[in-house]
Structure 1
Amino acid sequence: MSRARSRTLLVVGGVAVIALGAGIFAGTRITSPADAAARAAPPEASEVTVPVELRTLNSEVVTRGDVSAAGAVDVVPEVGGLETPPVVTGQVPTVGAEVTEGTALLEIVGRPLVVLAGELPMYRSLRPGMSGPDVEQLEVTLQRLGLDPGDVDDEYTATTGDAVAELFERIGYEPPAPDPQVEAELEAANDQLDQAEDLVEDAEEAIEDAEDAAPDAPVDEDALEDALDDAREQLVDARATRDEAAAAAGTPLPASEVVFVPSLPRRVDEVQVRRGGQVSGAVMSVSGATLVVTANVDDAARELLAAEMPVTIELPSGDEVAGTITAIAEAEGEGATGHDVTIAPGELTAEQVEELRGANVRVTVPVESTDGDVLAVPLAALTAGPGGESRVEVMRDGATELVEVEVGLTAEGYAEVTAVEGELGEGDLVVVGESSDASADDDAEGDT
């Protein structure tokens, strides 16, 4: 009996212990409505702070720009006066070729297109007897090339034509031929001159014959003298006509055989024709050796920029070169907006020139900088007071304190600040926002 009772007591005791443990565990799992509401409420917010820093602030405009050669121009030959289709027959340059003055830039229907330096375009064919500023430009150019155009003025003379002929012979081409009608007029003038000379000779012979005639043969000497005078006048007129015709028949300069560009030498950037093709509009684009960067900025950035400001240009390789703003103008063209900023790079190596040509580059323009390190806070730390004054909220000993500040340069997401009322120094913690410790609550819920 005693053993049975002992066993019974042990079983009862074990059950009681198990029941007690189960009750305690169940108790931890029972949540009151108040506790549930408290857990569902958002966590209390706490201030996010950052230290006040000493740093140098730099305000800058950063944009991108396209690199092109300064003074790039399209070469458009004047081929409207040609009697045959303007077929390209040779001398087609390659991209990158250097263009020098007085050379054949292209060959059209077997004739050269000579490139010369000048501001006026070749808008008409020139020949002896013509005048104008384009003639003077041509004579200045011929003289620069060591050719003798005679007096440098606005008159195209036979001497000017001789210099033009020498220019073509220098590059291996026959000089341009005069217009057939002009040559015909010269031939006719020569014939008239020959006839006038014969008339003078005949009149002089008639007078000599009269002097040798017998005394009894009547001769009207006055009539013979009048005839000689008339013949001599005709001779003078014939010579003048012949001289004019000869001058007009001097070497011309067809508009289709020369093109003027503002300056030389230049580089061929693009070629739009091929041998055997026909000329229609621009045949190539040539540019100077000087590169420029053109960047577009909005109105806000435009207010910060001015000519002569230094810039930094980042090359595609990552290297940097200095530059200077040379001009700022409203963007032009269909759909254009903002302002175009023209930048001249500084001294470049030949390798840098080739790297930059045609590239799109990053441009940085320093606008303003603090004089060394200043107290700076993130822009998010600034708030406005009731009177519009600027303030920062400083955390000290677990409590916050508002400090009025004067704001200086703002750049790079920071603002230069100086305390007006209160104290503010490097390392002070300023409030930039609020944060909740939601992760801690999540961890706590995971532990229950």
Structure 2
Amino acid sequence: MSRARSRTLLAVGGSAVIALGAGIYAGTRITSPADAVARTAAPEASEVTVPVELRTLNSEVVTRGDVTSAGAVDITPETGGLEMPPIVTGQVPEVGAEIAEGAALLEIVGRPLIALAGELPMYRSLRPGMSGPDVEQLELTLERLGLDPGEVDDEYTGATGNAVAELFERIGYEPPEPDPQAEQELDAANDQVDQAEDAVEDAEDALDAAGDAPGQDGAPVDEDALQDALDDARDRLDDAEAARDEAAVAAGTPLPAAEVVFVPSLPRRVDEVSVRRGGEVDGAVMSVSGASLVVTANVDDADHERLAVDQPVTIEVPTGEEVPGTITAIEEATGDEATGWDVTVTPGELTPEQAEALRGANVRITVPIESTDGDVLAVPLAALTAGPGGESRVEVMRDGVAELVEVAVGLTAEGYAEVSAVEGTLAEGDLVVVGDGGEDDASGG
């Protein structure tokens, strides 16, 4: 065989091998229509299962609320009775200051404006001899402050005035001056007592002298007449002393309306001050709100049914801490577009830092409703189905075979239900069906 023919055969053979390889590769890339459909079809449906868990379940209401100070009040002194312009002379508080009961809020023309707790406003000046519900409120307040107003009733007595005087002295001010006319009447009553005492003394001297010497012209002295004169003098003294005591009460320490302001509760926080030292009072001088904070949340009817006054809650402080609180009021929401129920929560004891962080914040509130006693068997709510008689069941997969197990359902919370087997067995780790892997699951990812 010639060398040329050998080269030809090798070339032909190589081409054939290449063609065979190309045909095999092409064959692996060709797909029939039936194969294409089979490869893109959804997988055969299969059950989606999750294991039965041991967990503690907690049922709770979680909502959010706004933190505000309790009941803001504008302080407006009664200055109509002053004889001079109501100039602020001192004691101007700073915003954020706390006002305690019995303390001076402000000083006007050198006199204090004292804060006291009470529902009735100071609508008139009070003085001994007056009576009314505002007097009773004053006496209750004085007694609460450790001052002695005498018997707590609706009568302003001398003891009431003495307690008022002590209230002013306690904060470093002279007590209010008594009514000038009442002082004049007291002075006159004291003069009458002095005169009556002199008359008694003279009558006593005359009676004593009658037994020591004979009467005029030697006639016996009429001691009976002298005794009658002494008795009359003593009666006049009793009357004068009674009038003096009454005048003394009337001249006791009064309580000017310009020097006291009643607010519903104390202590309170100063939110705004609208006067300055040297300025003139014209209307409200400051706005004060309760030093205590409250949280107001709104819940729907379903959550309202689960809540009650005095329930404990947890409040999340913006700093990340949690503080306890208590539901103190539940009222139907009012207003043009109001819906649901307004729930008032009062925080427990707060540190100054916590109070400052809460003030004006919107916070998370958690109200625990019910809890299991430790860990219990629990399944997702989606695992529960209803039997023909309304009984609750779960479907348990055992070695690829589904078994229906009737269960008793306890607490449901956090998307889970507490369960225990009524018939059959159920244990931690058992796989329960919560759905299937049909077209919906496949298409939904």
- The two structures have a TM-score, normalised by structure 2, of 0.70
Contact conserved, 1:150 with 1:160, CA < 8 A, in 2?
yes
Q: Which residue of 2 aligns with 1:259?
A: 261
Would the aligned equivalents of 1:404 and 1:421 in 2 still touch at CA under 8 Å?
A: yes
- Following TM superposition, by how much is the alpha carbon of 1:104 offset from its aligned partner in structure 2, in angstroms? 1.7
Q: Is the 8 A contact 2:332 2:340 kept in 1?
A: yes
Q: Tell me what 1:77 maps to.
A: 76
1:93 aligns with 2:58: no
Q: What's the counterpart of residue 273 of structure 1?
A: 274
RMSD over equivalenced CA pairs, Å: 4.3
Q: TM-score, normalised by structure 1?
A: 0.70
Tell me how far apart the structure 2 counterparts of residues 377 and 159 of structure 1 sit (CA, whole Å).
73
Q: Which runs of 5+ in 2 are unaligned?
A: 192-241
Find the aligned partners of 2:327 and 2:67 in 1 and give their Cα distance.
Answer: 14
| Amino acid paired to 1:21 | G
Counterpart contact for 2:77–2:285, Cα < 8 Å: no
Amino acid of the structure 2 residue aligned with 1:404: E
1:418 corresponds, among 417, 420, 444, to 420
TM-aligned CA distance change 1:431 to 1:112, over 3 Å: same
Cα distance change on mapping 1:164 and 1:326 into 2, 3 Å: closer
Distance 1:330 1:126 in 2: 41
Q: Is the 8 A contact 1:120 1:260 kept in 2?
A: yes
User: Match for residue 138 of structure 1?
Assistant: 138
Alpha-carbon separation, structure 2, partners of 1:347 and 1:112: 32
After superposition, the C-alpha distances for 1:200-254 in whole angstroms (9 at most, x for unaligned) are: xxxxxxxxxxxxxxxxxxxxxxxxxxxxxxxxxxxxxxxx999999987876534
Matched residue type, 2:405: V
Instruction: Find the aligned partners of 1:330 and 1:367 in 2 and give their Cα distance.
Output: 21
SS in 2 for 1:36: helix
Q: Is the 8 A contact 1:65 1:363 kept in 2?
A: yes
Supply the AA of the counterpart residue of 2:60. E
Among candidates 423, 426, 429, match of residue 427 of structure 1: 429
Q: What SS does structure 2 have at the residue aligned with 1:45?
A: coil
Q: Secondary structure at the match of 1:253?
A: coil
1:402 alignment partner, SS class: strand
For residues 96-153 of structure 1, the C-alpha deviation after alignment (integer angstroms, 9 at most, x for no partner) is 4343343321134554311123332212333455321112333444566676767754
1:312 matched to 2:314: yes
Q: Does 1:39 align with 2:42?
A: no
Q: Contact 1:133 / 1:154 at 8 angstroms: preserved in 2?
A: yes
Residue 340 of structure 2 corresponds to: 338
Q: Which moved more, 1:348-357 or 1:365-374?
A: 348-357
Match of 2:330 in 1: 328
- Counting only pairs closer than 5 Å after superposition, residues 132-211 of structure 1 correspond to structure 2 as 132-142=132-142, 153-156=153-156, 164=164, 167-168=167-168, 171=171
What is the Cα deviation at residue 350 of structure 1? 5.9
For residues 432 and 374 of structure 1, the distance between their equivalents in structure 2, rounded to whole angstroms, comes to 19
Distance 1:310 1:166 in 2: 42
Aligned to 2:394: 392
The question of 1:370 aligning with 2:372 is answered yes
What amino acid does structure 2 have at the position aligned with 1:118? G
Higher mean displacement: 326-335 or 348-357: 348-357
In the alignment, structure 1 residue 284 sits paired with structure 2 residue 287: yes
Shift of 1:68: 5.0
Output the amino acid matched with 1:81: G
Deviation at 1:33, TM superposition (A): 2.0
Distance in 1, matches of 2:375 and 2:161, equals 72
Aligned counterpart, 2:382: 380
After the TM superposition, which of the residue ranges 72-81 and 25-34 deviates more from structure 2? 72-81
Answer yes or no: is the 8 Å Cα contact 1:74–1:282 preserved in 2. Answer: no
Aligned mates of 2:424, 2:26 — CA distance in 1: 57
Cα distance in structure 1, aligned partners of 2:35 and 2:381: 40
- Answering whether residue 58 of structure 2 is matched by residue 55 of structure 1, we say no
Report the CA distance between 1:351 and its aligned residue: 5.5
- Residues 250/418 of structure 1: CA separation in 2 closer, same or farther (3 Å cut): closer
Q: CA deviation at 1:357?
A: 5.1
Task: Tell me the amino acid that sits aligned with residue 268 of structure 1.
Answer: R
Question: 1:22 deviation in Å?
Answer: 1.7
1:309, 1:398 → 2: CA distance? Answer: 48
Number of the residue aligned with 1:229? none
Q: Does the residue aligned with 2:309 lie in a helix, a strand or coil?
A: coil
